[in-house]
Amino acid sequence: MTADVAPEVAGAPVFTPAPPEVTGPGSLRPTLVVGLGQAGLRVLQRLRFDLTERYGPPDYTPAVRTLFIDTDPDALDDAARPRPVERLAGLGPDEVAAARLNRAGHYLKPRLNGRSLIEGWFDPQLFLDMIEQHRLQQSAVVPTMLQILLSQPLEDYELSSLQYVSSGGAPLAAEVAEQFSRRVPSARKVRTGRWQASKTLRI
């Protein structure tokens, strides 16, 4: 005599039995999982969904915490929205941190020493050496970086691999783009960033 088997319900979740619980003395290490940007948000939401599905609300797993960091207010709002169909949980207010940034012009203003913040770390010779040695095809810059590069002996470097230059953070003067393209003929496109404009400047 065989036992009746209940038919499977379409769309019902399939539960996997949990392995035997490990008991006895041992250390329990608290873990903080940090996510940055859109991809990081989706990882955290999926992790929180899976933990909740298996162990219950976040209070049931106090040793595992998640933290999402972003500069985009829309992304921070999106983090709180649960998407059960996509197996994504909403994050709580204490799991979201806003990283506030100033406008790009703030970082380009000259300081007391007459140099901008970007000039403190941008090494044009190293930048050009990297393009030459690694045959880079594209690069992202801000207009100040292009102006600094124009003060360098560009013709002394092998820059023929460079084809695309994406500029953002501040308005890009047409004469700067044209001068750079004349001196680096392979760079036929200078693109402005999406936060500034959507068009592509063809030189």
Cα–Cα distances (Å) from 141 to 10, 105, 133, 170, in that order, read 52, 14, 19, 10
Integer Rg of the chain from CA: 26
pLDDT given for residue 199 in this prediction: 34
Q: Global pTM?
A: 0.45
For the chain (203 residues), the mean pLDDT of every run of 10, in chain order, is 50 68 74 90 94 90 91 88 93 89 70 62 86 88 87 92 83 86 82 42 35
The residue type found at 142 is V
- In the CATH scheme, what is the code of domain 119-202? 3.40.50.980
Question: What pLDDT, on a 0 to 100 scale, did the predictor assign at position 154?
Answer: 92
Contact 142, 170 (CB under 8 A): yes
Sequence-separated (6 or more) residues with CB below 8 Å from residue 177: 146, 167, 190, 201, 203
Dist. CA 31–CA 41, nearest whole Å: 17
Residues of the chain with CATH 3.40.50.980: 119-202
Q: SS3 for 196?
A: coil
Helices marked H in the chain — which ranges? 37-55, 73-79, 104-108, 124-134, 143-150, 174-183
